[in-house]
């Protein structure tokens, strides 16, 4: 994917990039969904009607003037242009809108419910409280009134009754992150509901989480890039791309670090879309200091302590895959003893209560042992460790694939793990 530059790129190019991301992620169809941007002159740039979203080009994007008249173009504007215009009229602070019919959010729309974003702190921060727009016929003034009424109340993320979703942002990046996070959260809640009762965080818990952003490490004076360090950067960037492609990292969620010498390591940056990350964005940590001009992930202190306490660990991935997080928001154990190969890779994965991340990083670091490479933190995330980065990523894949199988298995009946004798047989054969 191309890297978005909302300051320099033309609205046509921004819209094509975003609708392409949405389509490739399976969050819209060939004919479904629409994206718009309002420029400084009051023009609304919007996707066209009845044009394949999988092959959209910049020339296909329609410009509607401030007076509502079309300025040239080969196509008609999206039939939903009226509600885009209505939103911009009531919310002059917004300059980008995304509308689509992603499966999980449509599921909520069809049962006429709005999902709570209090499942993880980041979701509530990004999406906020959720508005609910009553049904009206697509493409009508009535639909525009129903939706704009919700935006006028201050909502930025809306469930459209029996329809889909619409979100707004101060720019197209913010709108897309909001859309992606909204769908991820809905999908996680649905997965969790199959295996138990989702548990939600209080507003106070979320506020406490946000207030505990760690102090930034001091900057190093000089940075050196050895051949080994450059190789590590390339490996991190490659694995981030694979994790994004599999939906195990979205937006700016998910962190990877790799030790490259002694207790020094490289780590993904803070508040950057993972699918846009380049080699240059990765942050070097050396001697407890950060690379000049860059901010590392907020998890940097925990990663640092894990390396200090565990010489056998040389790579760490912390992220929020949707099926693993299903177990994380119902507080249930991921019993990988149901799948022998998964147990060999992961052994028993403890589920830790929300709030453990408030403890001293040393305390969290001590949870990891040679026979405990991964932990799940309720309503927060999954942390997995290993020697080589590919090994760690393999463990992440196995954990998420296993979690998906367990969620699906729950819909069939009671899960039956292998017994202690069978586990001991695996331990002797593969781990001795």
| Six token digits for residue 237 | 């960037």
More reliable by pLDDT, 308 or 360: 308
pLDDT at residue 215 above 90?
no
At residue 355, the pLDDT reads: 84
What token pair was written down for 288? 């407890």
The answer on 414 and 365 residing in a single domain is yes
* CATH number, domain with residue 251: 3.40.225.10
Angle at 131 between CA 200 and CA 78, to 5 degrees: 130
DSSP H or E stretch at residue 100: strand 96-100
Q: Look at residue 420 and tell me whether its pLDDT is greater than 60.
A: yes
Mean pLDDT of 141-162: 96
Q: Which letter, b or e, does each residue of 264-277 get, where b requires 16 or more Cβ atoms within 10 Å of its Cβ?
A: bbbbbbbebbbbeb
Amino acid 1: pLDDT = 53
161 and 232, same domain (yes or no): no
Q: Within a domain: residue 286?
A: yes
The answer to whether the CB of 59 falls within 8 A of the CB of 38 is no
* Least confident among 181-190, 249-258, 314-323, 356-365: 356-365
Same domain, 154 and 243: no
Asked if residue 179 is part of any domain, the answer here is yes
Q: Is the confidence at residue 305, as pLDDT, over 90?
A: yes
Kindly state the DSSP code that residue 356 receives in the 8-state scheme. Answer: G
Return all residues near 420 (Cβ < 8 A) that are at least 6 apart: none
Q: Report which of 139, 372, 357, 387 is spatially closest to residue 259, judged by C-alpha positions.
A: 387
* 3-state secondary structure (DSSP) of residue 371: coil
Query: What does the pLDDT average to over 210-235?
Result: 89
Percent of the chain with pLDDT over 90: 84
Q: Mean pLDDT, the chain, as a whole number? A: 93
Start-to-end Cα distance in the chain: 44
- Residue 93, domain extent: 11-195
pLDDT beyond 90 at 160: yes
Same domain for 166 and 51: yes
Read off the pLDDT of residues 350-380 as tens digits, 9 standing for 90 and up.
999 998 877 778 888 999 998 999 999 999 9
Tell whether 356 is covered by a domain: yes
264-286 pLDDT, tens digit each: 999 999 989 898 899 999 999 99
Place of tokens 């380049």: 278
Classify residue 417: in a domain, yes or no: yes
Which of 195, 218, 240 is the endpoint of a domain?
195
344 pLDDT band, cuts 50/70/90, is very high
Tally of domains in the chain: 2
Q: Is the pTM of this model over 0.75?
A: yes
In 111-200, where does DSSP find H-type helix? 121-127, 141-152, 172-195
Q: Are 374 and 364 in contact (CB under 8 A)?
A: no
Q: Please state, in angstroms and as integers, the Cα–Cα distance from residue 200 to each residue in 111, 114, 213, 321, 378, following that order.
A: 20, 14, 21, 17, 10
Tell whether 89 and 172 lie within a shared domain.
Answer: yes
CB 427 within 8 A of CB 419: no
Buried b / exposed e along 210-222 (16+ C-beta atoms within 10 A): eeeeeeebeebee
- Quote the CA–CA distance of 389 and 394 in Å, as a whole number: 8
Identify the three-state secondary structure at position 152: helix
Side by side, the strands of the sheet bearing 44-46 are 62-64, 44-46, 34-38, 96-100, 164-169, 157-160, 130-133
Do 175 and 133 lie in a common domain? yes
């Amino acid at each position: 994917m191309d890297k978005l530059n909302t300051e320099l790129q033309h609205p046509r190019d921004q819209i094509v990039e975003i609708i392409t991301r949405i389509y490739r992620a399976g969050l819209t169809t060939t004919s479904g969904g629409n994206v718009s941007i309002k420029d400084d002159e009051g023009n609304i740039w919007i996707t066209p009607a009845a044009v394949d979203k999988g092959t959209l080009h910049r020339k296909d994007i329609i410009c509607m003037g401030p007076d509502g008249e079309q300025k040239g173009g080969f196509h008609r504007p999206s039939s939903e242009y009226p509600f885009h215009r209505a939103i911009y009229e009531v919310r002059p602070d917004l300059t980008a809108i995304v509308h689509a019919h992603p499966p999980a959010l449509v599921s909520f729309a069809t049962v006429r419910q709005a999902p709570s974003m209090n499942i993880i702190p980041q979701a509530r921060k990004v999406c906020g409280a959720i508005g609910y727009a009553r049904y009206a016929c697509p493409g009508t003034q009535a639909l525009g009134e129903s939706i704009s009424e919700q935006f006028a109340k201050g909502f930025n993320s809306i469930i459209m009754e029996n329809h889909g979703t619409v979100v707004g942002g101060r720019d197209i990046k913010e709108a897309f992150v909001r859309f992606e996070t909204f769908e991820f959260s809905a999908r996680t809640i649905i997965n969790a509901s199959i295996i138990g009762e989702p548990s939600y965080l209080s507003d106070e818990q979320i506020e406490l989480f946000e207030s505990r952003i760690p102090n930034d490490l001091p900057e190093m004076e000089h940075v050196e890039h050895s051949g080994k360090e450059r190789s590590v950067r390339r490996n991190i960037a490659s694995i981030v791309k694979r994790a994004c492609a599999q939906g195990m990292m979205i937006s700016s969620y998910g962190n990877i670090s790799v030790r490259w010498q002694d207790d020094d390591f490289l780590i993904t940056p803070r508040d950057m879309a993972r699918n846009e990350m380049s080699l240059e964005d990765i942050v070097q940590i050396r001697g407890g200091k950060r690379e000049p001009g860059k901010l590392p992930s907020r998890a940097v202190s925990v990663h640092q302590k894990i390396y200090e306490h565990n010489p056998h660990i040389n790579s760490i991935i912390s992220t929020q895959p949707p099926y693993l997080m299903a177990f994380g928001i119902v507080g249930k154990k991921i019993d990988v003893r149901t799948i022998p190969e998964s147990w060999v890779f992961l052994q028993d994965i403890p589920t830790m209560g929300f709030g453990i991340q408030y403890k001293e990083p040393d305390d969290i670091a001590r949870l990891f042992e040679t026979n405990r490479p991964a932990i799940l933190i309720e309503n927060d995330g999954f942390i997995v460790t290993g020697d080589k980065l590919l090994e760690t990523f393999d463990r992440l894949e196995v954990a998420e694939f296993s979690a998906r199988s367990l969620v699906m298995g729950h819909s069939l009946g009671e899960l039956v793990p292998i017994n202690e004798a069978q586990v001991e047989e695996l331990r002797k054969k593969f781990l001795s």
